[in-house]
Chain A
Amino acid sequence: MVAFVISRLLQALPVLLAVALISFALFTFVGDPVAAMLSQDASAADRTALVHLLGLDQPWYVQFGKFVGNAVQGEFGLSYRLSRPVSTLIAERAPATLELAFCAAAMTLCIGVPLGIFTGIYKDSWVSRLLLTISLVGVSLPIFVLGMLLILVFAVNLGWLPSFGRGETVQIGWWSTGLLTASGLKALILPAITLAVFQLTLITRLVRAEMLEVLRTDYIKFARARGLTNRSINFGHALKNTLVPVITIAGLQLGGIIAFAIVTETVFQWPGMGFLFIQSVGAADIPVMAAYLLLIALVFVVINLAVDLLYYLVDPRLRAKR
C-alpha cells in the first residue's frame, strides 16, 4: 500500500516537471518582461543591468533549475501587474475557488448519482425519459449562457440572490470562507449551480449507462435468483460495480471544476483563482500564469492518486494484483 503510493508519486514527478518546463517557457516566449518593467526612456545600460539583476543572462537550464527550486518552496516571484508575491495572491484566491468547486462537486454527486441510478433502473419510465431529455439540454448549454440566464432570472428579475461576488467572508487562519455567513452562502448558490449543471448531467448519464450494463450481468441475475431484495441488488451489488468508472470520471471532473472554473468565475466576478488567471492573461502577468499552471497540474496529480487509492478500496481484484 505504502509502496504503491510512493511509486505513484514518483510517476507523478515527470508530469510535474514537464508542466514546470511549459510554465517556464512562458517567460521566454510570451511577451518581454524586461520591456514591460523598464520605463520608456530607459537606456541600454539600464536594460542590461535589469537583465542581469533578474538572472535572464544565464543559460536556460540554470534559470529553469532556479525556477523549479523556487517553485518547490512555493516561491513564484512577484506579479508584474500587482507587484505582490504570486504565492500570496494565489493563497488569497484559492479558498474561493476551492469552496466553489467542492460545492459544485458535492451537488454533482448528490444529485447526479441518484438520478443515474433511477434512470438506470427505471429505464423505460417517462420520468427517466424526461430527465434524460433535460440532461441533454444540460450537456449542450454553454456554461456562460446558463450563468447569465440564472443571473437574469434570480438576481435581476426576482432579486433573490446576488449577481456577483462572494458576499461576506469570515477569516479562519489564512483561509477565508464564505460558508459561514448568510450572504456568503447566498452568493455561492448561483455560481455553484452554473458550475455543477454540466458535470451533473454527465455523471447522470454515466451512472445510467453503467447501471444498464451491470444490471444485465449474470451476477445480478443470480442475485435475483437468490431472492435478494431489490434494494440490496440495486444499491449494493449493482451500484458498487458501477463505481470504478464513475470514480474515474468524477475525479477528472473535480480537477476540471477546480482548473476551469474560469468561465463561471468571470461571469459571476467570483474572486477565485480562475478570475485571477484570466486577469493575468489580459495583463501578460506571466509569474501568476506560470504558478497557476503548476498548481493545476499538482491538483490533477493529487486527484489521480486519490482516484487510484479509491479503486484499491472498491475492487478486490486490483488489490490482489499488487
Chain B
Amino acid sequence: MLLEVKDLRVEFPTRRGVLTALNGVSFSIAPGEVLGVVGESGAGKSMTGAAIIGLLEPPGRIAGGEIRLEGERIDNLPYEKMRRIRGKRIGAIFQDPLTTLNPLYTVGRQLVETMQAHLPLSDAEARQRAIGWLEQVGIPAAAQRIDAYPHQFSGGMRQRVVIALALCAEPQLIVADEPTTALDVSIQAQIIALLKRLAREQRTAIMLVTHDMGVIAETADRVAVMYAGRIIEIGPVRQVVRHAQHPYTAGLMASIPPLDRRVERLAQIDGAMPRLNAIPPGCPFSPRCPEVFERCRVARPELMPAGATDAACWLHDQPGAPA
C-alpha cells in the first residue's frame, strides 16, 4: 500500500470543549489508484486531506491513529521532515485556482522554486522542466507564458498551472481537494481528464475529495463516503454507485437526478448532518435513517463487509441481513 490511514482522529480544542472532527477514519490507497472521497460539507473530507499533508489548521490536531506512507509513519514527523515530503512525495491541489497562486510571482518562478526545493536542479534545468510541465498540462505557447503572472491566465488555465505545480516534483500521491468545484462546468471535464491522464502517466495515486458524484463516478477506482467525521462506506466505485449498502449512500445516490426519465420530485435525505458537538450516540446517521432500529441508537457500527463494499451499518450485522 502507498498510503495507509488507520483509526485517524482529529480534534479541535475550543473554549467550549474538544470537538472531534474526524473519528476512526481508516482507509488505504494503492500506488496509482484514484480514491474518491465524497460527503456533505463538513463531513470531514477536506480535513482528512489536510491531515495527510500535515497542514491541519491550528488549533486542529491529530489526536489519535496513524498515517503511513509506504509503511513509514508521517503523522508525527517534525515540521522540516514533513516539509520534505510535501510536494516531493505528496502533492496537493486546492479548490480555487484564483487564490492558490501567489499573485506577485510569475508561474515560472513558482514552478522553479517548487522543483528546486525538492530536486537538485540548476536554474536553467529547472526552467526547462518548468516549460515542459506547462506544455504537459496544456498551456499553449508555454515558453512565452512561463514569465506571465497568474492574473494573466484564466481560471481554467490557472488550475492547469496548479496541477503542474502539484506534479512537478513527481509525487507518488496527490491530494486533490475539490479541484474542479470553482471552475466552469465546461472546463471541469477537461481538468479532470488532464488530472487523470497525468496521474496515469506518472503512476501517481490521487485522493480526490469532492462532493460531485459525477466526477467520482468518472474518475475514481474506489470511493469512500464520509458522514459526520467518519467513513460510512468504502468500496469499488461501481459497487458503491450502483449497489450502495449504507442507507446514507443509497440516499446520496438517489438524490442525483436521472437524465433518462422525468421525475416529479427529486429524492432527498430529510434532516441535516449533525453538528460536531451534537453527534448522537450510536450511528451518527440514525436520526435521519429510514431503516433505523433500536441498536443503531445505542451502539456505533464500524465498517463491516456488506456486499461488495464495506459499510458501517448494523443492517449488515444481523442474522439473515440483506447482503
Contacts and interface: CB of A to CB of B under 8 A. Distances in A.
B4 to A, nearest CB: 21
Contact of A219 (B85, B86, B100, B106): B100
A227 interface: yes
| Interface magnitude class on chain B | 20 to 34
B151 A316 contact: yes
A219 B100 CA distance: 4
A221 B105 contact: no
A219 B99 CA distance: 6
B92 A237 contact: no
B101 interface: yes
Q: Is the interface of A mostly helix, strand, loop or mixed?
A: helix
Nearest to B151: A317
Contacts of A240: 104
Given A226-B87, A226-B114, A219 B101 contact: yes
A208 B213 CA distance: 42
A25 interface: no
B9 interface: no
Contact of A227 (B104, B117, B151): B117
A222 B175 CA distance: 12
Contacts of B79: 230
A225 B105 contact: no
B52 to A, nearest CB: 11
Interface residues of A, number: 22
Interface in B143-168: 149, 151-152, 162, 165-166
A316 B92 CA distance: 26
A217, A225, A241: which has the most chain B beta carbons within 10 Å? A225
Contacts of A10: none
A222 B100 contact: yes
Contacts of B118: 227
Interface string B206-246: 00000000000000000000000000000000000000000
A227 B87 CA distance: 5
Contacts of B87: 225-228
B253 interface: no
A230 B79 CA distance: 10
B79, B117, B162: which has the most chain A beta carbons within 10 Å? B117
A298 interface: no
B122 interface: no
B140 interface: no
Contacts of A66: none
Contacts of B101: 219, 222
Nearest to A244: B104
B104 A241 contact: yes
B91 interface: yes
A268 to B, nearest CB: 41
Interface in A64-83: none
A265 to B, nearest CB: 39
A221 B105 CA distance: 15
A226 B102 contact: no
A305 B162 CA distance: 36
27 contacts: A218-B94, A218-B96, A219-B100, A219-B102, A219-B103, A221-B100, A222-B101, A223-B102, A224-B83, A225-B86, A226-B117, A227-B88, A227-B117, A227-B118, A228-B83, A228-B113, A228-B117, A229-B117, A230-B79, A230-B83, A237-B105, A240-B104, A241-B103, A316-B104, A316-B106, A317-B149, A317-B151
Interface of A: 217-219, 221-230, 232, 237, 240-241, 314-317, 320
Given A219-B99, A241-B104, 14 more contacts: A225-B91, A226-B86, A226-B92, A226-B114, A227-B83, A227-B84, A227-B87, A227-B117, A229-B83, A237-B102, A316-B104, A316-B106, A317-B103, A320-B149
